[in-house]
Chain A
Amino acid sequence: MSNNDFRRELNSTFDQMTGSPSPSLRDRVRSSVGQAPERRGPYWMAAAAAAVIAVLLVGVLVVSNPLNRRSNAGPTVTSPTASPSAAARPSPTTTPEAQLPAFVCTSGAAAQHPSSAPVAFVSGLRTGTHTGYDRLTIDFSNGGPSGAVELKPQSGTTFTQSPSGMTVTLKGKNGILVVIHGADLHSAYNGSVDIVTGYATLVEVKRTEDFEGVVQLGLGINGAGCYRAFWLSNPDRLVIDVEAAS
Chain B
Amino acid sequence: MDQRPQILARAAGGDLDSFSLLIDPLLDPAYRLAAVMLGERSAAEDAVQEASIKAWRKLRQLRGDAQSLRAWFLSIVANECRMARRTRWFSVIRLADVPAQTGDERESYSDLHSALLRLSPDERLPLVLHFYLDLPLDEVARTLRVSQSAAKSRIYRAAKRLRADLTIEEVF
Q: Which residues of A contact B (CB under 8 A)?
A: 1-3, 6-7, 9-11, 13-14, 16-19, 21-22, 25-26, 28-30, 32-34, 36, 39-40, 160-166, 209-212
Contact = CB atoms under 8 A, between A and B. Distances in A.
B79 A10 contact: no
Interface stretch (B1-9, B48-56, B85-93, B99-107): B48-56
A165 B142 contact: yes
B142 to A, nearest CB: 4
Interface string B129-166: 00110000010011001010000000000010011001
A2 B163 CA distance: 12
B32 A33 contact: no
Contacts of A30: 16, 20
Given A25-B27, A33-B19, A163-B75, A18 B32 contact: yes
A6 B159 CA distance: 10
A106 B97 CA distance: 40
B68 A164 contact: yes
B84 interface: no
B46 to A, nearest CB: 10
A165 B23 CA distance: 20
A34 B171 CA distance: 41
A163 B144 CA distance: 9
Given A10-B131, A13-B112, A25 B41 contact: no
Contact of B57 (A14, A17, A29, A40): A40
Nearest to B45: A25
Q: Which are the 8 A-B pairs with shortest beta-carbon distances? A: A18-B35, A165-B142, A21-B31, A39-B57, A164-B63, A3-B170, A14-B132, A164-B64
Contact of A14 (B32, B75, B163): B32
Instruction: Give the most central of A33, A34, A39: most B CB within 10 Å.
Output: A33
B45 A212 contact: no
B60 interface: yes
Given A39-B56, A39-B57, A18 B44 contact: yes
B58 to A, nearest CB: 8
A11 B61 contact: no
Interface of B: 14, 16, 19-20, 23-24, 27-28, 31-32, 35-36, 39, 41, 44-45, 48-49, 52-53, 56-57, 60-64, 68, 71-72, 75-76, 79, 110, 112-113, 116, 127-128, 131-132, 138, 141-142, 145, 147, 159, 162-163, 166, 169-171
Contacts of B63: 161, 163-164, 166
A83 to B, nearest CB: 20
B76 A212 contact: yes
B41 A29 contact: no
B131 A166 contact: no
Instruction: Give the most central of A11, A30, A166: most B CB within 10 Å.
Output: A30
Contacts of B41: 18-19, 21-22
B147 A6 contact: no
Contact of A33 (B56, B79, B147): B56
Instruction: Give the most central of B44, B57, B127, B147: most A CB within 10 Å.
Output: B57
Contacts of B147: 160
B16 A34 contact: yes
B156 to A, nearest CB: 12
Nearest to B115: A13
A9 B28 contact: no
A162 B79 CA distance: 14
B64 A166 contact: yes
Contact of A10 (B35, B45, B112): B112
Contacts of B23: 29
Contacts of A9: 110, 112
Given A25-B27, A162-B145, 8 more contacts: A1-B163, A3-B171, A13-B113, A25-B45, A33-B20, A165-B141, A166-B64, A212-B76
